[in-house]
Chains A and B, each alone.
Chain A
Amino acid sequence: MVRRQNKLSKVLLSIVMILFAIYAAFPIVWMLICSFKQNDYIFAWPPKIIDESFGLRTYVRVLTDPVKLRFFLNSYIVSAAVVVLTLIIGIMAAYAFSRFDFPLKKAVNSIIVSVQAIPQICLLIPYMGIIVALQLFNTYWALILTYLVMTLPYCILMMTGYFNTLSKELDDSVRIDGGSRFRALWGVLVPISTPALVSVGLYTFMTAWNEYLFALVLTQTTNMRTIPIGINLLITEHNYDWSMMMSMSVLGSLPILILFLFFQKYFISGMSSGAIKG
């Protein structure tokens, strides 16, 4: 009796599990399917999964268009720069929070936690003025600096937490051998912090790659636009080129999808330790 009940609940749970999977994945799969179709076929009624237009033609169109390739290049440059700079600056600050006691420590720490709650839209108006005054409007640096400020708090909090789990004797052993604190940090602590660095790096890359609002306002010409804006430019055009939108979206999501599948464990540990998404 108990066994039959167990079997029944397993079947029911399996059905629920599959239904949820459909709920989560259906729009994504449909986008993928439509990215292989030609524009005139996408809204066939009744919808067809595969039709005679199925092929890679739209992808070829995206990948041979220098304007669209530039969106990808821009996103890669900005995101890579943000990851490198966030890690360097964040690691230094985290080291200070983990290894030193100083008068303003608690105050600075509370500011770092609480700034994550500030809606970006509230900063945007004066921010624009600051970027123009710094003569950075419509440059990579405008975006890099902005994303740095967005990703630093999470990096600092995560790395401080991680450094706190590492024994201070590690630093001391370097310093007894005559090494500086600088060497203790970069030569000893950083190499053994790889798991946390990967989580933080992934989160940082994703934030920079996906950001929309500041990229929209702080850049102006197509040679400075990033992927999210590039896709959005297609929406606002008069004749919707749906197949182009779908293949651009697939290509634009691919880097994050690949990183997610490869580094799933780090991705998830980053999420569950209170990751902050834009």
Chain B
Amino acid sequence: MKNNKLKRNAMPYLYIAPTVILMAGLLITPIVQVIRYSFYDNAFVKKNPLPVGWLNYQKVLTDPVFWQSVRETIFFVIVSIVGHIVMALIFAHLLNTTMFKQRTKTVARIIYILPWIFTATVISVMWKLFFQPAGVMNYLLGFVGLATKNTEWFSNKDIALYVVTYINLWSGYPFYMISVLAGLQGISPDLYESAAIDGATSFKSFRFITLPQLKPILLSLVMLDFVWTLKTFAIVWTLTAGGPMHATEIISLYIYRTAFMENHFSLASAAAVFLLIVCGIVAVFYTRQQFKIQED
């Protein structure tokens, strides 16, 4: 009898055991390790690294390239979030109008989702082709006098970050579009009908019905996008490798270069902990928001 009860109590743990072991070994352990490394001198490469206190943090926080990277990251993240949400709202409304046949909308939806399915290297290759000096972009912009056959996009430090951000907008918006579309379809049509009877313009019904109804979804999306954009690595790395002159070196690339190009694993760990804290704070809010939605 007692044995049976023990068995019943142990059962759920058996079911989650593989997950817990994997996550403990390959997620939690590295987090603890990276924090530890950040307090040691030359961790990872040296056999017996010495503890150095906050020295690595001091070095990172006084590195002008780090602060340049932070500024670029802030620009990249904010423009990406605003762009993704605005694009999502516009595209989703377009896919939700009653003006087109369902067939038309289905085809449009397939086309609009396309950028989402490609891997970062493919996105990078296709946009490099597009933005080559002798490429299509310069040819088309040539008609309006904005570019010539010699215009460089990725090797110009004044505009490289804008180009990279633009490509990130293109490759990311479909996810937000689909989420907003799902949200729009969840709004009761009655709300719009009664507003129409009251004589509300379409702008007014957007402002006073659509936006408030979408608010929880938009809030989740902003937080998700914040974390995802902070995490972005592959697209930027394969497009520019952070150059020219660190002009597109967002924080994840800064960490990668410091660690794997220059072998300063301890400094990179300190920068990684910095990023971890920022993401951790957002994760707490996001988790709370998710539980709130689940409970509603």
- Chain A interface (Cβ within 8 Å of chain B)? 6, 9-10, 13-14, 16-17, 20-21, 23-25, 27-28, 30-31, 34, 42-43, 45-47, 89-90, 92-93, 95-97, 100, 102, 105, 108, 110-127, 129-130, 145-146, 148-149, 152, 156, 181, 206, 209-210, 212-213, 217, 227-229, 231-232, 234-235, 242, 245-246, 249, 252-253, 256-257, 260-261, 264, 267-268, 271-272, 274-278
Contacts and interface: CB of A to CB of B under 8 A. Distances in A.
Contact of A45 (B27, B149, B252): B149
B44 A125 contact: yes
A92 B14 CA distance: 9
Interface residues of B, number: 92
Interface stretch (B48-56, B131-139, B187-195): B131-139
Given A210-B119, A245-B125, A121 B255 contact: yes
Contact of A126 (B34, B113, B182): B34
Given A27-B127, A152-B19, A212-B234, A124 B178 contact: no
B231 A261 contact: no
Given A42-B129, A119-B231, A95 B15 contact: yes
Interface string B263-280: 001001100110110011
Nearest to A131: B26
A131 to B, nearest CB: 9
A272 B178 contact: yes
Given A111-B23, A232-B238, A20 B112 contact: yes
A68 B179 CA distance: 37
A148 B22 contact: yes
B146 interface: no
B234 A228 contact: yes
A215 B252 CA distance: 16
A275 B275 CA distance: 22
B138 to A, nearest CB: 9
Contacts of A213: 233-234, 256
Contact of A120 (B116, B231, B265): B231
Contacts of A28: 114-115, 118, 126
Interface in B1-38: 9, 11-13, 15-16, 18-20, 22-23, 25-27, 29-31, 33-34, 37
A142 to B, nearest CB: 10
A30 B18 CA distance: 45
A9 B100 CA distance: 11
Contacts of B120: 210, 212, 228
A212 B121 contact: yes
Given A125-B272, A145-B26, A89 B125 contact: no
A244 B178 CA distance: 33
Interface in B232-271: 233-234, 237-238, 252, 255-256, 259-260, 265, 268-269
14 contacts: A14-B100, A28-B115, A28-B126, A92-B19, A112-B19, A113-B290, A118-B279, A118-B283, A127-B30, A130-B26, A152-B23, A212-B120, A228-B119, A274-B224
